[in-house]
């Protein structure tokens, strides 16, 4: 994706205070997405314990960054934060996952996956569950239990992997 395209997306997001159906906070800032050569992407993350303004600001920044980069998910380590946090967007469905845990997973599908931290020429086939039951917290600390199916299940798995230092290129179907 070119810098120009990113800039255009950024302008749209800021001008409309909503982009792709998602509300953008007026104070959100773009964060730099780390490249997969950065060791941070291989580190494990900590649970979030404080559900304060700082967490809200970070999630706002991650949301804006994901939208501007045309991503469908972004995890803490990708913006240099070793916290168990991720944002996910699929269609008009937007989720913020704090301290997510997979409770159940079943089914399997193999599809081509990519990642904002990895050049798209390395996109490849990955097997993922088709149904997940996940427990997570929202930005205010409320515990949520939710089922994700098909592509959403794939994206959520990909983001949770990031929280354990795992990248999709580790899991390519040969």
Task: Select the residue whose beta carbon is closest to Zn ion and give its number.
Answer: 115
Q: What counts of helices (H) and strands (E) characterise the chain?
A: 3, 9
CA distance 72 to 5: 16
- Choose one: 23-31, 51-59, 102-110, 111-119; the region binding Zn ion (CB under 5 A): 111-119
To Zn ion, the closest distance from the beta carbon of 16 in angstroms equals 26
Identify the residue among 41, 62, 115, 157 touching Zn ion (CB under 5 A).
115
Mark whether 113 is an active-site residue.
Answer: no
Using CB under 5 A as the binding rule, whether residue 87 contacts Zn ion is answered as no
Distance CA 66, CA 92 (A): 14
**CB contact at 8 A, 132 and 153:** yes
Q: How far is the CB of 157 from Zn ion (least distance, A)?
A: 11
The smaller minimum CB distance to Zn ion, of residues 14 and 169, is found at 169
**Residue 10 contacts by C-beta under 8 Å, 6 or more apart in sequence?**
30, 64, 68
Residue in 69, 96, 113, 159 annotated catalytic: 159
How far is 70 from 116, CA to CA, in rounded Å? 9
Active site residues: 159
The residues that touch Zn ion, with contacts defined as CB under 5 A, are: 115
């Amino acid at each position: 994706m070119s810098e120009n395209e990113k800039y255009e997306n950024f302008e749209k997001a800021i001008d409309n205070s909503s982009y792709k159906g998602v509300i953008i906070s007026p104070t959100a800032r773009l964060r730099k997405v780390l490249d997969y050569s950065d060791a941070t992407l291989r580190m494990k993350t900590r649970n979030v314990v404080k559900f304060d303004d700082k967490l809200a600001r970070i999630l706002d920044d991650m949301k804006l960054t994901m939208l501007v980069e045309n991503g469908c998910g972004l995890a803490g380590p990708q913006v240099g934060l070793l916290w168990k946090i991720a944002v996910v967007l699929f269609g008009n469905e937007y989720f913020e996952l704090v301290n997510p845990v997979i409770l159940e997973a079943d089914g399997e599908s193999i599809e081509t996956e990519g990642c904002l931290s990895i050049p798209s020429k390395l996109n490849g086939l990955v097997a993922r569950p088709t149904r997940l039951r996940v427990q997570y917290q929202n930005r205010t600390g409320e515990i949520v239990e939710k089922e994700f199916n098909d592509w959403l299940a794939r994206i959520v798995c990909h983001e949770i992997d990031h929280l354990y230092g795992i990248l999709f290129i580790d899991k390519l179907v040969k």
